[in-house]
Each structure stands twice: as C-alpha cells, then as structure tokens.
Amino acid sequence: MIDLRTPWQIGPVEVPTRLVLAPMAGVSVQAFRRQGRRYGAGLVCSEMVSCAGIEHRNERTLGYLRVAADEHPLAIQLFGSEARPMADAARMVEAVGADIVDINFGCPVRKVTRTGAGAHLLEDQDLACRIVQDVAGAVDVPVTVKLRRGVRNGSRACLELGPRLVDAGAASLTLHPRSAEQMYTGSADHELTAELVSLVDVPVVASGDVTSRSRAQAVLAITGADAVMVGRGAQGNPWALREIVDGDTGQPTREEVAAELVLFIREAVRELGERRASGFLRKFYGWYLGQGRFPKPFKQELLQLDSTEEVEQRLLVAAPGALAILEQLEAEVPTGDEVTLELPISVYGGG
C-alpha cells in the first residue's frame, strides 16, 4: 500500500499528497480548488486559460488568474498554439502567484483543437517541444505538461513525445491514456502510463479512471507513477478525495452536504459575481445532491429559484442542522483580502 500522504517534488515545489485535482473547464474555479485542498488534494490546477485571452487582456480570462493563499501549491494551465504568446502568458501567471505553469496538450474539444492547441499538438511534436522550451525559458517556476496518448485510437504518440518534452524543459508529465478520439469513453490504458514512466526521469502523474482509494493504489502500483489525478469523480463530491487520500469511507450526512454546498455557493458568488455564479452553479446542484443524498425533485426545485440567496435558504430549510456545520466551515476557511493576491495585470471585477 502506497501512503498517499507522502510528499513528492516537482522541481523545487513540494506537493504534500499524491493526489492532484484535475484542471476542468467550467469547473476548476478558485472555490473548487480551495475545497479540493481542504479535502486532501496536494496540488490543484486552474481550468485551461487561453494565452490569447491573456495577451488581449480579456477580463473574463484574467478572472481565471485569481489566486488565494490557501491554494498553494497551485498550477495554472495554459493552452495555445504559438510559442511566444505562451511564454508571455507564462510570465504573467508566474507573476500572479502560480507555483507551476502547466501546458495543455491533451484537450480533445473541437473549439480548442481547431486553433492548433490542445490535443492537436500531439501531431505537431516539433511545435509542442518549441512551446515547452520557450515557456520553460521564460519562467523560474517548473513547467509541466498534460497530454493524452495521441489523437487517434491506439496511438502511442505520447511515448515518443514525452521524452522530447522532458528534454525541452518539462519538469513533470501528466498522462491521460485515452486518445482524443475517445474523449471520455472506454477505459484509460495505464499500461501506457507505465511505459511512459520507464522512459522519463521526471515525475509522472497518472490520470484517468481514478475513482476510489483502491483504484488509486492499483494505478500507482501498476504504473510506478508518482501521483494520481482525479477529475470528474470530485465534481460535487469532495468526500471522494478524502476517501482516496485517507481511506475515510464515511458518507457525508445530508447536513454536511448542504453546508458544503452553501459554502461553495458563497465562494463562487464572491469570485464570479451573482450573475455568472447563478449559471455556473446549476450543474453543481445535481452533482452535490445526487447519489441518493436528496430526493431527485429537490434539485429541480433549486433550479427554479431566482437567486443564489434563495437556494441557500432552501438548502438550510431542508437540512436545518447544516447551519452549525456551515458556521464551523466558514470559521476555518480564510476569507477577505488577505487570501487573494493582487493581480499585476488587471483587477478582476467578476463580470
């Protein structure tokens, strides 16, 4: 059995547990990352940030660069298809407070790949290496790369590209051993992860199908990877992280679920503003309230409400004991200006 509480290193950055919370578009906002750290993630990652959005000072993109003191160590993930803008963006995220600059060479979504970014770069290995080299040369923090096995089913492109990325300056690699064509179907082929581990002398993070402590232990044993990455399993379910890291199989009470969701709502509103948060949170209601925690019609009831304040009130009525738990959570979570670093490039207004 591998102790997932054992620290490990990415360059000079110490990561306190062997569990990494995945970067997920439309999910990995600051509220989600801070929650992940509380429940045992040793490293948390921002959702993908467009280097073009940073270059053009897009206010919404800059909002992704909000960094709180209790998130560290934090990786901010960039995507783009040109080396110079990626290097410039890396300097900015380093200035904001990122401990690690992560580069996305794995996103299979069409609106990303059609720009030449994400998984498309698995087929343009020279450009991928040039991007890593320029980014690594632009910053003092470690540069890491997240990639898939290749674009097409059965591809082994990652085994050729991975060592080249390390030679170009990557301090760690994360492999999701599905093809871009697979998206999230089928299963992750972690025998491929084990092959990559044998080819490089930097830490490798195994991503894909890690949904329990037993599965995390199996993947680490099979692959020899340094850590595992958890993504969809943590959506609305931070208790899954605790189970993976500590083996705590206790299921949250209805009151604990309601309290955690209300705290998440408040943090999201603080970060995004009421208007954006209202839309962003809708998918989380189903994630939190599912798995038999609340009756199915209750989620639909919340979706009909006009404001997040009304949602909070309804949750606290449905689980009256949640209020005391919520007060305890809020007392333990840092709040206010002291946890948000000043952005040198924009003041994020939540719009």
Which residues are catalytic, by number? Answer: 107
178 neighbors 189 (Cβ within 8 angstroms):
yes
Token pair for 317: 């009525």
Distance of CA 314 to the CA centre of its chain: 29
Q: Facing residues of 146 across strands?
A: 104, 174
Token pair for 212: 């329990």
Give the integer Cα–Cα distance in Å for 198 and 190.
Answer: 13
119 neighbors 125 (Cβ within 8 angstroms):
no
Planar angle of CA 207, 213, 216, nearest 5 degrees: 30
Q: Is the bond into 238 cis (omega within 30 degrees of 0)? A: no
Beta carbons within 10 angstroms of residue 279's beta carbon: 9
Token pair for 324: 């005391």
The percent helix, strand, coil of the chain (3-state, each to 5) is 50, 15, 35
Candidates 260, 242, 257, 250; CA nearest to 293 is: 257
Candidates 170, 189, 166; CA nearest to 178 is: 189
Give the integer Cα–Cα distance in Å for 197 and 254.
Answer: 42
Give the integer Cα–Cα distance in Å for 235 and 27.
Answer: 8
CA dihedral 209, 210, 212, 218 (to 10 degrees): 100
> Pairing relation of β-strands 100-105 and 74-79?
parallel
Give the integer Cα–Cα distance in Å for 79 and 248.
Answer: 36
Q: Mapping DSSP to helix (H, G, I), strand (E, B) and coil, where does residue 169 land?
A: coil
